[in-house]
A and B are shown apart, each in its own frame.
Chain A
Amino acid sequence: MGGHLKSRTRSRFALLCIVAYILYITLPAVQSTFLSPLFPNLQEILYPRASLLRLFAEHLLLVMLSGASAFFTGILLGIAVTRSWGREFLQPIQDLTALLQTFPPVAVLTLAVPAVGFGFTPAYLALYIYSILPIVRNTITGLLSVSPTLKEAARGMGMTPLQVLMKAELPQAFPAILAGTRISIIINIGTSTIGGVIGAGGLGVAIVAGLVRDNTAFVLQGAIAAAGLAFFADYLFETLERRRTPQ
């Protein structure tokens, strides 16, 4: 009973935060009333080139597109290397992803510029490749931890290999896959903030402009929005994970 009540106040608090965040993102008036008392000496409080809402939309688009494509690729790759015909690739893929994960995300993002150039596409590609890694690794871990007896039982019921995969293995591996996706998305949100430097737009644009022009208000304007986005994504995944985990 107590836990139930606590979770209700928790979700109410979260709802309140989300409403406040949406107001902050959409209304420049809210941003300036919040920021102007902090910076009485500054002429310009808000980043003038683009509205925060626009930057936010660019940021979200980049994260969602790269995250969604990495989600599907990662799961497919994870499934492929755990089938009998792909087993040969299991160890190499695990080694390679482990190695690539030690590469800093910033490095992968900025490497995309010599390879592809400036703009949205290189940022998308870099984020896509980097976010495949945790998803593949967790999909593999999840699928390998499914007990052989369960698979045997599913086969014994007359399921085809595809049915065994869809009805027995993937549901069992899903919590692990979800955890991997959570890591990916959080890293993605952080890395795409730096995407402002390589011309991919997003909330990083305001932060970098503030740093270059020595205007801390722009920095704060963008930083609050980026931090808030990361918090909400994290909260969303936490709620999802709690729902999916069997009691």
Chain B
Amino acid sequence: MRFKIFTGLCAICTYLLPLYTVKPNRIQTGSAIRVFDLPPHYWIAALLLILLIILIVFTRTHTDIFFLLFSIAFMSHLLAMLTFLQNNLVLWEAAQYGRISFSAGFWVALLTIYLLLSWAYRNSHYKTLPAIAFILILIGISVFVLMGCFRHSAILLEFQNRSEKFLQELLHHISLSLSAVGTATLIGIPAGIWAARSEKYRNLIFKVVNGVQTIPSLALFGLMIAPLALISQQFPVLRTLGIAGIGNAPALIALTLYSLLPIIRNTFTGIYYIESHVISAATGMGMSKSQKFRYVELPLATPMMLTGIRMSLVQTIGNTAVAALIGAGGLGTFIFQGLGQSVPDLILLGVIPVILLSVLFDRLFHWAEHIVTPKGVRLAWEVT
């Protein structure tokens, strides 16, 4: 009950806060738009929606379905207001070069929709319903985008000005992150297995990778520059290969070093904490050492290793954004350009894809972890 009330309050907050900001052009500060600044039928609709959410919160039956329906209506209302603003920019003295940014109310609205959908998902008997609602909302948004509802929205304008560069940097971001984590996986899994086997070096390995992880990312990038610049000055051959103090080489090295800890730690945990009776059973079956590794230890440790790779990847996608500061490119380029020119929407053009990428890869790996978990282990987890 308390949670439902909280969600309802979030929905009401949406309408009290400024939803959008209209700016005459890229540089000027704009005017905040609340729902009451729009023609009456928009705020009457808002009042009706508020009334509706209060009713839903206090009714006892079918809240899940009502929540889904409400979130769709809520989203449509937000987008309808956006469309009105697009078509009537003149009212705010912002016609041709006018642009619309999202304000606090809009972000609260997204949080509200998240809360509504997650509540419905947790409490619904029909687990597919919220997924359908989510897909419907996504389709709705894309229809609105295609209809040009966002054509004056500032992020889209920033995107259109540099769509080619954006795709290029996006791909570069992904490939830089993936190659760093790939390299780290190639080093980290053997190192983790080694740490699990040799008591002597375990401490040393963990001391080193823990230490690297502690260093702030920007500082590590900075520390990479001096030695690499020196090396490339000494050996001009390397410079022709593109290895220099700034750019991709130091970024890749620093990102790889950063990705090591979660991978090594999880590989170690996965192998080291396999219950001894499992190993005894394998020995009893007459398995050789390499067979035990291949058929028992590795499959049991794989989900744990994937978790490590997932943690590394999510962290690396964020750090790659920082790497733009040492000239490695990627989506961070837009973020720091936006900060330099104080254009908030350019910052968002960089930040939002970075966040989406991390969430996307996180989900992808969660799914992969589920797939590779051996059936027996999954059953054992479900029992406990």
In the bound assembly, the distance between CA atoms of A198 and B104 in angstroms comes to: 20
A177-207 toward B: CB 8 Å interface, digit per residue (1/0)? 0000000001001110110011000011001
Q: How distant is the Cα of A204 from the Cα of B338 in the complex, in angstroms?
A: 18
Report B148-173 residues with CB < 8 Å from chain A CB. Answer: none
Q: Which residue of B lies closest to A98 (CB)?
A: B362
Q: In the bound complex, how far is the Cα of B344 from the Cα of A85, in angstroms?
A: 41
Is A234 interfacial (CB 8 A cutoff)?
A: yes
Instruction: Give the residues from 221 to 254 in chain B that come closer than 8 angstroms, CB to CB, to chain A.
Output: 222-223, 225-226, 229, 245-246
In B302-348, which residues have CB < 8 Å from any A CB? 314-315, 317-319, 321-322, 325-326, 332, 335-336, 338-339, 342, 344-345, 347-348
The answer for the CA separation of A157 and B315 in the assembled complex, in Å, is: 47
CB-defined contacts of B339 to chain A, threshold 8 Å: 110, 113, 197-198
Instruction: Give 1 or 0 for each of B196-223: 1 = CB within 8 Å of chain A CB.
Output: 0000000000000001001111111011
B118 contacts A by Cβ under 8 Å: yes
Which of B1, B211, B218, B315 counts the most chain A CB atoms within 10 A?
B218
Identify which of A85, A92, A115 gathers the most chain B CB atoms within 10 Å of its CB.
Answer: A92
Is A216 part of the contact surface with B, judged by Cβ < 8 Å? Answer: yes
| A104 proximity list for chain B (CB < 8 A) | 314-315, 317-319, 321, 354-355, 358
Q: Is the CB of B115 within 8 A of A88?
A: no
Most buried by B among A91, A95, A113: A113
With A113-B347, A219-B222 known as contacts, the answer to whether A102 contacts B314 (CB < 8 A) is: yes
| A103-B355, A107-B321, A198-B339 given; A226·B216 CB < 8 A | yes
Please pick, from A92, A113, A193, A224, the residue contacting B218 in the complex, using a CB distance under 8 A. A193
A95-B118, A104-B321, A208-B325 known; A110 vs B335 contact (CB < 8 Å): yes
Chain B residues contacting A211 (CB-CB under 8 Å) are: 222, 246, 325-326
Least Cβ–Cβ distance between A2 and chain B, in angstroms:
15
* B60 interface residue (CB < 8 Å to A): no
Question: What CA separation (Å) do A186 and B258 show in the bound complex?
Answer: 14
A210 to B226, CA, bound (A): 11
CB of B344 within 8 A of CB of A113, answer: yes
The reply to whether B217 and A222 form a contact with Cβ atoms under 8 Å apart is: no
In the bound complex, do residue A190 and residue B223 qualify as a contact, i.e. CB atoms below 8 Å apart?
A: no
> Given that A110-B351, A211-B325 are known contacts, is A227 also in contact with B215, CB under 8 Å in the complex?
yes
The yes or no answer to B370 lying at the interface (CB within 8 A) is no
B294 within 8 A of A: no
Q: Give the chain A neighbours of B342 by CB distance below 8 A.
A: 118
Contact A114 B344 (CB under 8 A): yes
Contact with B along A59-70 (1 / 0, CB 8 A): 000000000000
Q: Decide yes or no whether B119 CB sits under 8 A from chain A.
A: yes
**Given A104-B315, A113-B347: A231 touches B355 (CB 8 Å cut-off):** no
- B345 near A114 (CB under 8 angstroms)? yes
Q: How many residues of A contact B (CB 8 A)?
A: 47
| A 93-128 binary contact with B (CB < 8 Å = 1; else 0) | 001100100111111001101110010000000000
The interface residues of chain A, by DSSP majority, are classed as helix
**Is B126 in the interface zone, CB < 8 Å from A?**
no
Chain B interface main SS type: helix
Which residues of A, 122-150, contact B by the 8 Å Cβ criterion?
none
Contacts of A219 in B (CB 8 A): 222, 225-226
Q: Which residues of B contact A22 (CB under 8 A)?
A: none
Q: Is B289 at the interface (CB under 8 A from chain A)?
A: no
| Cβ-based interface call for B359 (8 A) | yes
Q: Is the CB of A227 within 8 A of B104?
A: no
Q: How many A-B residue pairs have CB under 8 A?
A: 135
Minimum Cβ distance to chain B for residue A231 (Å):
6
Q: Which residue of B lies closest to A105 (CB)?
A: B318
CA distance A210 to B246 in the complex (A): 12
- Of chain B, the residue at the smallest CB distance from A86 is B2
B267 at interface by CB-CB < 8 Å = no
Minimal beta-carbon separation of B330 from chain A (angstroms): 11
- Whether B104 and A102, one on each chain, are in contact in the complex, defined by CB atoms closer than 8 angstroms, is no
Those of A213-238 within 8 Å (CB) of chain B: 216, 219-220, 222-224, 226-227, 230-231, 234
**Measured CA separation A223–B229 after assembly (Å):** 16
Contacts of B211 in A (CB 8 A): 231
Docked complex Cα distance between A227 and B220 (Å): 8
Are A88's CB and B355's CB within 8 A? no
In the assembled complex, the CB of A132 is this many whole angstroms from the nearest CB of chain B, namely 15
| Contact in complex: B217, A190 (CB < 8 Å) | yes
Q: Which residue of B lies closest to A187 (CB)?
A: B216
Contact partner, B223, options A88, A92, A113, A227, Cβ 8 Å: A227
Q: Contact: B318 with A223, CB < 8 Å?
A: no
Who on chain B is nearest to A59 by CB?
B216
| A and B contact pairs by CB, cutoff 8 A, 21 listed | A85-B2, A89-B2, A92-B119, A95-B118, A103-B318, A103-B358, A103-B359, A104-B315, A104-B319, A106-B354, A107-B358, A114-B101, A118-B342, A198-B339, A207-B222, A211-B325, A216-B226, A220-B226, A223-B218, A223-B219, A230-B215
A-B pairs, 8 with minimum CB distance: A104-B318, A114-B344, A223-B222, A190-B216, A223-B219, A219-B222, A226-B219, A193-B216
Chain A contacts to B: CB under 8 angstroms: 38, 85-86, 88-89, 91-92, 95-96, 99, 102-107, 110-111, 113-115, 118, 186, 189-191, 193-194, 197-198, 203-204, 207-208, 210-211, 216, 219-220, 222-224, 226-227, 230-231, 234
Seed contacts A104-B358, A227-B214; 5 additional CB < 8 Å A-B pairs: A113-B347, A114-B101, A114-B347, A216-B225, A220-B222
